[in-house]
Amino acid sequence: MLNKLIRFLRDYPWGAILIAYGIIETILKLLRNASASAEGVRWLLEAGTRVDQQKAVPAGWLIAVIAAAFIGFGIFLGAYIVTQVRLNRSRSKNIGLRTLDGMFDSTAKIRSSLWPTGKKPPHAFTTIKMRHLIHDDLTVTSSSEYHVRAKSMPVHYFVWNTVPEDEALPRDHLLEIDFRVRDITPERDFGTTYLQCANGPRNKEVLVYFLPILQPEEDVPRIIEVSYVWPGYYLRLKEREELCSIDLTKMRSEERVDLIELEFYLEPGTGKRLICERTGSLEGKQAPPSVARFKHSSGKDWEGWKYTVRKAPAEEYAVRLRLEGS
């Protein structure tokens, strides 16, 4: 680019001088100093050129000045364009974020209107299963099953949420944690979708909708699978214990749940051992967590714990996790 500009100045000196003069004249006119500009340009031309065999030859320093003027103008123009593009993107992003926040607020209002606080839920859970695979960097791969039936009226949705501890890495959007939800009811062609109603960096809440609507006359529960991968979800385990629970009171599950199953497995090769102790309600039919193994898709066995509660009334069932040297 610079070499081409130098060749242009050498081959067409008068043209380059006229272009430079026009640029400088325009700028100085905008500054309302046209007369001074004419004198300045005249001096520049006289001092920076010489006539050799009836041909004007620009001095090297004049070529450098003109090249610097072109380059400076190009840099200024490029910087201006980039700044405007970034500004427009920032404005569009802010508008998009405000739009999303408005959608979350609207969804939360719909939820509160259809299912006010204190009102008995129109559905019941027959089974709740949750499996956490804890990777060596304390990322979690979570998979849960919710077996849901309608009681006395059609059911549009149920509420799902996750709230990791403050040590977990913040994530702004569900796509960043590979959030997925699907209906896995055997031998049924059901679907599902969701609307998000809360979106903090460590607080995700969605309404999981049944497609079609869950009806009281259905003979088997709908089975909804929810999965996600949250980086650093269990970073608290580096220095302290962590509690993990299923709180049926917050889920407003007022009927007994036939089966609650919590599983936690640690990736092999971490040099640590996962310890799991019961710390929640002792209601229902249950025993302390027992040692278990999980066959990972990699072919390796992950060691961990399984905690089971049967005929569980509306209580909070929790375990305390910690890591120890192996």
Q: Are 197 and 107 in contact (CB under 8 A)?
A: yes
More confident residue, 73 or 199: 199
- pLDDT tens-digit series, residues 141-162: 999 999 999 998 999 999 899 9
Q: Of 17, 26, 71, which Cα lies nearest the Cα of 44?
A: 17
Domains of the chain, start order: 2-84 (no CATH), 123-325 (2.60.40)
Query: Stretch 21-41: mean pLDDT, rounded?
Result: 58
Of 74-78, 189-193, 284-288, which range is least confident? 74-78
Confidence of residue 253 (pLDDT cuts 50, 70, 90): confident
Q: How far apart are CA 313 and CA 283, in angstroms?
A: 7
Q: How far apart are CA 116 and CA 155, in angstroms?
A: 14
Question: With a threshold of 0.85, does the pTM exceed it?
Answer: no
- pLDDT tens-digit series, residues 5-25: 555 555 555 556 666 666 666
Whole-Å CA distances, 191 to 59, 273, 324: 78, 39, 42
Q: Are 154 and 214 in contact (CB under 8 A)?
A: yes
Q: How far apart are CA 270 and CA 298, in angstroms?
A: 16
What average pLDDT does the structure give for the chain? Answer: 82
Q: What pLDDT was estimated at residue 122? A: 86
Q: Of 161, 148, 147, 155, which Cα lies nearest the Cα of 196?
A: 161
More confident residue, 60 or 33: 60
- pLDDT tens-digit series, residues 73-95: 677 667 767 776 666 666 655 65
The one-letter code for the residue type at 251 is: M
Q: What pLDDT was estimated at residue 34? A: 47
User: Residue 180 above 90 pLDDT?
Assistant: yes
